[in-house]
Amino acid sequence: MIAADTSSLSAYFRGEAGADVVTVATALSTGAIVLPLVVQTELLSDPTAISAMMETVLNFVLLPVLDGYWQRAGDARRLLMTKGYRAKIADALIAQSCIDHDVALITRDADFRHFAKYCGLKLA
């Protein structure tokens, strides 16, 4: 299993290039992609999304929320903010979901590197 972030999935469906897009394509071909719930919400709320993406997104396996998730996500976000890093709520929720399920995250969003350095997030 490997999780994908909104940035990389959107890039894949727009036909953009990049190492993350190649990783998404490989994971899609093997059925290995899972989504944090927040990623599904972000993708489904995109007014510019193409229908192929919308249909595909609805078929992904979703990572369930585990007990204590909200507190752990808040703790991780607070830790990064006290260190002076940017930590959006959606990013904290995505990172924590991946951490809880011990899955790497495919992303092109550089903000996740802080979650990797300080919170245990694995990046693909």
CATH number reported for the structural domain that contains residue 7 in this entry: 3.40.50.1010
Residue numbers of the domain that contains 102? 2-119
The answer to whether residue 53 is domain-embedded is yes
Question: How distant, in Å, are the alpha carbons of 35, 37, 51, 72, 106 from that of 44?
Answer: 12, 11, 10, 25, 18
The predicted structure's pLDDT at residue 50:
77
CA distance 34 to 59: 10
The answer to whether residue 124 is domain-embedded is no
The predicted structure's pLDDT at residue 73:
98
| Helix count and strand count (H, E) for the chain | 7, 4
pTM assigned to the model: 0.95
* Each residue's pLDDT expressed in tens, for the chain with a length of 124 residues: 999 999 999 999 999 999 999 999 999 999 999 999 999 999 999 888 777 788 888 899 999 999 999 999 999 999 999 999 999 999 999 999 999 999 999 999 999 999 999 999 999 9
Tokens of 43: 């993708």
Structural domain total, the chain:
1
